[in-house]
Amino acid sequence: MKLKQRVVLLAILLVIFIFTKVFLIDNLDTSAANREDQRAFHRMMASLHVELDPRLDHTLQSPWEIAAQWVVPREVYPEETPELGAVMHAMTTKKIIKADVGYKGTQLKALLILEGGQKVVFKPKRYARDYVVEGEPYAGYDRHNAEVAAFHLDRILGFRRAPLVVGRFVNLRTEIRPVATEQLLGTFMTVGNNTCFYGKCYYCRETEPACADGDIMEGSVTLWLPDVWPLQKHRHPWGRTYREGKLARWEYDESYCDAVKKTSPYDSGPRLLDIIDTAIFDYLIGNADRHHYESFQDDEGASMLILLDNAKSFGNPALDERSILAPLYQCCIIRVSTWNRLNYLKNGVLKSALKTAMSHDPISPVLSDPHLDALDQRLLSILATVKQCTDQFGPDVVLVEDRMTLSHL
């Protein structure tokens, strides 16, 4: 064989060797990542049921101190939380030492301070479990049970971006009135034999109070994030106009995602993939009302998108508002870890997992069966949407590997 032919042959063999090595390494890395996703899923399933137990073993810290230490830029609570039951027990039982009107917003809520100085947001029950909210997908009052269900769905999906939520019964006469501010007390009233209040908010009206059953009011309490982590509010790029006859750009421009990708903080970092995760989360719970979102301040796009205010969810189990998925089907990208988790949850696993996770809650049953059934159906729609993307663009483009180290130092 001539020298020139040998050189050419060696060059070809070298290219084949390099390609094979890269291919094998990529596949090994992907396989290892998939195995870790599967292990993480099994760990989540094993820890689904949380007993509300006041005991805190091996620590002298209060439940509030423990929960505050959990928060880092990319998650509100860690994957392994043996103290979760104790923190949630404290949220639902600790003495209320102050009650005030809720922070700014459109919906009725109260701001409570629990023994030990911990702030929580109380959202009162407005509807029976089987009530169906008709009309626009963002219609109706906030649903307190939706906050509870959304928190546990966040656990199941492995996002860990929603503040802790648990159901709680409060006695408005003995627990709230004695410690209420004048501003909150001024909104109390009696309707029949029931104690009611209407609070202070954009849509709060004296003619539309939330009423207890006698003095006992069912609601949800959401743990306030630590003050050392101030929040920054952002307009959601796929927000609605809320004006009849006026469409947002994303509703008519099929190339809208390309424009979003050119603007900060969506042009780099994890924020756009967080938007996609959130669209999936919101579609599952039926939340079409995320017009804004919060992250931590001065994060330069590195902070998570925090899954706050999920109460405009689980309104109508028969309504699957596909436009909520617009970030997914317009951008056609999704985290590999999210894709894997969704696949592990099909065939009825999602419904069963959420039912198990919520079974410990003081206001259980949290959701009616039609809402649980709707989750499994919506999951199939999400999987079908991703498949359409992979069929069109290929899995290498659609499935994005974006795993970030979550430091708890």
Which residues carry a binding-site annotation? 107, 123, 142, 222-225, 294, 309
Secondary structure letter of residue 225 according to DSSP = P
Residue 220 makes CB contacts below 8 A (sequence gap 6+) with: 122, 123, 144, 145, 147, 148, 165, 166, 167, 168, 311, 363
**Alpha carbon distance 337, 354 (integer Å):** 19
Binding residues for Mn(2+): 142, 309
Task: Give the pairing of strands 399-400 and 334-335.
Answer: parallel
The DSSP code sequence of 88-155 is HHHHHHSPEEEEEE--SSSS--EEEEETTTEEEEEEE--S-TT----SSTT-SS--HHHHHHHHHHHH
With the C-alpha atoms ordered 148, 77, 335, 345, is the resulting torsion angle positive or negative?
negative
- Torsion angles phi and psi, residue 299, rounded to 5: -95, -10
Q: Taking CA 101 as the corner, what is the angle to CA 100 and CA 105, rounded to the nearest 5 degrees?
A: 145
* Burial readout 222-255 (b: 16 or more C-beta within 10 A, e: otherwise): bbbbbeeeeeeeeebbbebeeeeeeebebeeeee
Query: Bridge partners of 118?
Result: 114
Query: What tokens appear for 298 in the block?
Result: 């001065």
- Tokens 């408005």 belong to 172
**Catalytic residue annotation:** 289
Measured from the Cβ of residue 311, the count of other Cβ atoms closer than 10 Å reads 28
Query: Bridge partners of 294?
Result: 233, 306
